[in-house]
Structure 1
Amino acid sequence: MKKLTIATRGSKLALWQSNHIKSVIESQFSDVEVELKIIITSGDKILDVPLAKIGGKGLFLKEIEESMLRGEAQMAVHSLKDVPTVMPQGLLLSAITVREDVRDAMLSEKYPDIKSLPQGAVVGTSSLRRRMQLVQQRPDLVIKDLRGNVDTRIRKLKEGEFDAIILAAAGINRLGFSNLVQYFYPIALDEMLPAMGQGALGIETVNEPWVLEIAKFLEDENSRIETTIERGFVDTLQGGCQVPIGVSARVQPNGEVIVRSTLGMPDGSEVMGDEVVVAKGQTEGVGEAMAKRLIAQGAMELLHRAETMANKG
């Protein structure tokens, strides 16, 4: 009997994700016993400062990756949107799972969608990407920083701190939380483009053949195609989560892949983006090429100014 240890954060969503992968592995590999090792990360401890100011999403991964490199665990299950595009030496992004809903979602006790929010409504999000796209549609909204795990964010909404909050639809669906609020509105991609990799789980592992064999079973071809394009786009722009970048690649039933992107200032004052359609078999370098087209139009300067604005905010 082989023992596979999955390093995980202790939040409800992280535990759901890790337990989900644990049960899938155990149902498929009868000779593997899976255990979870809970690790409290810096990102879980620092809750009073906006993420963009303290190093972004990587704060949730560092300690988990260190425990894998020390040999205490062989696998970690991440929300792929939190995984930086460059992997540490010795670790691999070995599988990308079937995607859940890739969209963002608005949760509210009073209002069914973005259009119905009253003038000056208070919306909670810690994402500069969501902020940028919200204020483009509704410059009158008051957008306030929102940190904490999903439960905490929903509690703050229910206590009346916010008229609405924006979260990833995938996390709400996975936890079965959509019925905890009066209104759960998945936001159409035409209204808001998601973060790279949103809705997919990234399986990070040590480079050992028996672990890679297990990970291979978790891989989804379409998810890999879509997220490779999205991650290539963000990587070429050198954009972490300190800058507002939305990108979506979607494999269509007819074999085409629609790729859309947006980036700009957190206050929505300047925004640029692009859209292309490619065949599923010709996606190599598509994200990088889209990024380079935007760089030629001044995307790097724009993102540099966006980062300066975010750090002042």
Structure 2
Amino acid sequence: MPIRIGTRSSNLAMWQARTVAAALHEAGIETEIVQFKSMGDRSLGGNLSSAVGQFIHLIDRKLNEGLVDIAVHSSKDVPTKTDDSIANLAYMERGVTSDLILFNRQKNEPSLYNILDNETSTSLSDLLNRIEHGSTFGTVSGRRQSLLLSRRPDLIPLSVRGHVETRIERLLEGRVDALVLAEAGIRRLRTTGVLDEHNEHLTACRISSEDWPTAPGQGTVCIHCKTDRFEELSNLRSILNHAQTEADVIRERSILDMSGGGCLYPAGIEARGEHLMVRIAPKNWRTTFCAGREYSIFSYNGTFQEFELQLPHDETPPETERVSGPKFISTLNSDRISTVLANQGIGMTNLSVLDLKPNLDAWPRNFLSQYTSKRQWPYLVLTSPFSARCAILAAESNPDIARIKWVAIGEGTARACFQRGVTVAICAKARNSKEFLDYISSNIDTNTKLFLPRSSVAPETFANELKHAGYDVLDWIGYDNQAKKVEPTPVSPDDVLLISSSSSAISWAENGLTTPNEIICMGSNTKNTILSLEHFKNCNVSVLEGPTTEYLTQWWNQNRRR
């Protein structure tokens, strides 16, 4: 009987399976490739990085059920702890371990294949100098996100899901400014010809391993078998296993295990014989980042024998030094914005004037079964950080919401998702509903159904505008914004009130809170609400322009610096 090889059905996974089959055929062993779709292949959402082993569990389960004899995986996707019933039979000879950052090619830049045909690496510093402020980059990998954001907190990570070819299409469409991919996968796909049509439109930078060690096992194909068949299949191991690759990957995975992490841990660990390169972020790096604070990366470049693991720890956040004089008073309640501004000598007091009450029963459920293709799946449109928080809560008990693409109006909403563990698929970088509508109309096909949760006080205007633009829109009251009783807070005439929504403006007025002369608000609808309220009749009202922290800093430097 032929050896049955279990694999995922993507082009890259099939390349790996065919490589195993070819090696066995050369040794005179007949094979049969059996394809399956994993949960990782059946999701487009941005929470992949929180689910260990999505790409391997189904295939290994088929192995245990006796439907296949061996299972083929990318080693970097395999958790450090696997079921006792599964054994690693072999590691094939490792390919390149580097990551590539792909960009849309500009005039006179080398093509993607030009980059693949040389071995030139780019330092992380030089790479970051190329990326414009506020750019988006596509990856859900904790390692890649933590290494980039530790140096460039202005960047916005996006979830660009699907097969590698699909991700590249998203880059070419302009959905994302840069895309982080494993070079080994790109090289393997090149041999299939599927990238030929894109080569002239793409360029790339190969990141130096000293700055950017690989994920443990990256570039390596591993073969699993049932533990009780390990000896029986030892002849396959003698054909497939590469001793040095096995030794390197085992070392990498042992250090990852020492760190207490799994395949999703924010760690780059690369062994080359006796040489070792390591970069590890704090386990809670995301929380630290979203609070607007810096975090340190543990770095090591030396011999394996001399290596001592010193896990980085994020210390208790320091007390924010109070800034005397005028300040922002914000209903947005963003610790990140407050911290970033405080580091520039600009004070901000957060004052919550609303209670957010999720209406989770109203969110659609079990809707994906009606679609025959992921291309038909709806997008979840998020218009504010409040809607983002409710979407996170909904996704915890509503798997279909977690699996679809999330579209954020701007940076603040995208970061509200990121803080809670979800990387959105699209960030429109829009400042108001008009710009958001323009972005959606220009970048999302009208055949895509849109899900739009809104607050209990929000008008149906945006939903109707989307419908008028030709979209099939399902909108519902996803959460209640309820005014809450707020104690008076000291306000000076030179303070500046930042109002995040119409609901916040109404609550501020209902509480009779003192208002400074200057108000900056988010969106034209909020401005119209403020102007309609007698409470704000003597105030100067302007609309926030551009990313929040950058605009507030610029405004303050122009209007309040003395």
Determine the structure 2 residue equivalent to 1:304. Answer: none
Amino acid at match of 1:88: D
Deviates more, 1:86-95 or 1:270-279: 270-279
**Counterpart amino acid of 2:207?**
I
1:70 alignment counterpart:
65
Does structure 1 residue 197 correspond to structure 2 residue 203?
no
Higher mean C-alpha displacement, 121-130 vs 150-159: 121-130
Partner of 1:80: 75
Q: Which protein is bigger by CA-based radius of gyration?
A: 2
Aligned to 2:175: 161
User: Which residue of structure 2 lines up, in the alignment, with residue 188 of structure 1?
Assistant: 208
Report the counterpart of residue 165 of structure 2 in structure 1.
151
How many angstroms apart in 1 are the aligned matches of 2:238 and 2:2?
Answer: 17
Residue 215 of structure 1 corresponds to 237
Residue 14 of structure 1 is matched in structure 2 by 13
Does 2:140 match 1:118? Answer: no
- Kindly indicate whether residue 285 of structure 2 is the aligned counterpart of residue 260 of structure 1: no
CA distance 1:299–1:4, change in 2 (3 Å): farther
C-alpha contact (below 8 Å) 1:242/1:310 kept by paired residues: no
Alpha-carbon distance change, 243 to 18 in structure 1, aligned in 2, over 3 angstroms: same
Pairwise CA distance, 1:241 = 4.2
Show structure 1 runs of 5+ residues with no match. Answer: 302-307
Worse-matched range after superposition: 205-214 or 220-229 = 205-214
Q: Distance in 2 between matches of 1:274 and 1:142?
A: 24
Secondary structure, aligned partner of 1:120:
coil
Q: For 2:315 and 2:294, how far apart are their aligned partners in 1?
A: 16
Do the aligned partners of residues 63 and 141 (structure 1) sit closer, same or farther apart at CA in structure 2, a change above 3 Å counting? same
Matched, 1:101 2:89: no
What does residue 43 of structure 2 align with?
46
CA distance in 2 between counterparts of 1:116 and 1:187 reads 13
Change beyond 3 A, Cα 1:300–1:38 = farther
Number of residue-to-residue matches in the alignment: 289
Out of 32, 35, 53, the position equivalent to 1:35 is 32
TM-score by length of 2: 0.48
The whole-number CA distance in structure 2 between the counterparts of 1:300 and 1:18 is 45
1:137 positional shift: 3.0
CA distance in 2, matches of 1:137, 1:274: 14
The residue aligned with 2:267 is: 245
Q: Which residue of 2 aligns with 1:236?
A: 258
Closer, same or farther: CA 36–312 of 1 in aligned 2, 3 Å: closer
The aligned residue for residue 132 of structure 1 is 146
Gaps of 5+ in 2: 110-126, 317-417, 424-562
* Separation (CA, whole Å) in 1 of partners of 2:4 and 2:315: 41
1:45-90 deviation line (CA, Å, top 9, x unaligned): 122242123x13x111111111111111111111100011123222
1:275 to 289, 297, 300: 300
CA contact (8 A) 2:209 2:277 kept: no
Task: Tell me which of the two structures has the higher relative contact order, counting C-alpha pairs closer than 8 angstroms and 6 or more residues apart.
Answer: 1
In the alignment, the residues of structure 1 paired with residue 43 and residue 133 of structure 2 have an alpha-carbon distance, to the nearest angstrom, of 32
| Structure-2 change in CA distance of 1:197 and 1:274 (3 Å) | same
Corresponding residue to 1:311 among 412, 418, 421: 421
Deviation at residue 277 of structure 1 after TM alignment: 3.3
One-letter amino acid of the counterpart of residue 68, structure 2: A
SS in 1 for 2:271: strand
Shift of the 42–222 alpha-carbon distance from structure 1 to 2, 3 Å rule, reads same
What amino acid does structure 2 have at the position aligned with 1:203?
I
Cα distance between partner residues in 2 of 1:49 and 1:137: 22
Residue 310 of structure 1, CA deviation: 5.5
